[in-house]
Amino acid sequence: MREFERREGAELYVKICKKLEEVTFEQELVQDMIELITVFSARLYGSRSKKNKKLIDGMTQVVNEVA
C-alpha cells in the first residue's frame, strides 16, 4: 500500500507500507505487470481524451463562427 500526502505547498511526504505476508516472485511479477498495464492504459486513454476534447473545442468554435 502506498500513501502520498501533500502538505505545506511544494513539500511531499511519502509513506510506504509493506504487507506483513511474504509474496512470491510470481505474485510480485504479476502485480508489477498489472501496475504497468494500468499506467500505460491511463496514458493512452488520457491522450485520446485530450485529442477528442481538442476536436470538440475546434468544432464548437467553427459552429459558433458560422452561427
| Amino acid (one-letter) located at 63 | V
In this prediction, residue 33 carries a pLDDT of 92
Tell me which residue of 27, 23, 25, 19 sits closest to 1, measured CA to CA: 19
In the numeric block, which cell numbers belong to residue 11? Answer: 513539500
In this prediction, residue 1 carries a pLDDT of 43
The answer to whether the CB of 9 falls within 8 A of the CB of 17 is no
| Three-class SS state of 2 | strand
What residue ranges of the chain have pLDDT lower than 50?
1-3
Residue 43 CA to residue 47 CA, distance in Å, equals: 6
2 DSSP β-pair partners: 16
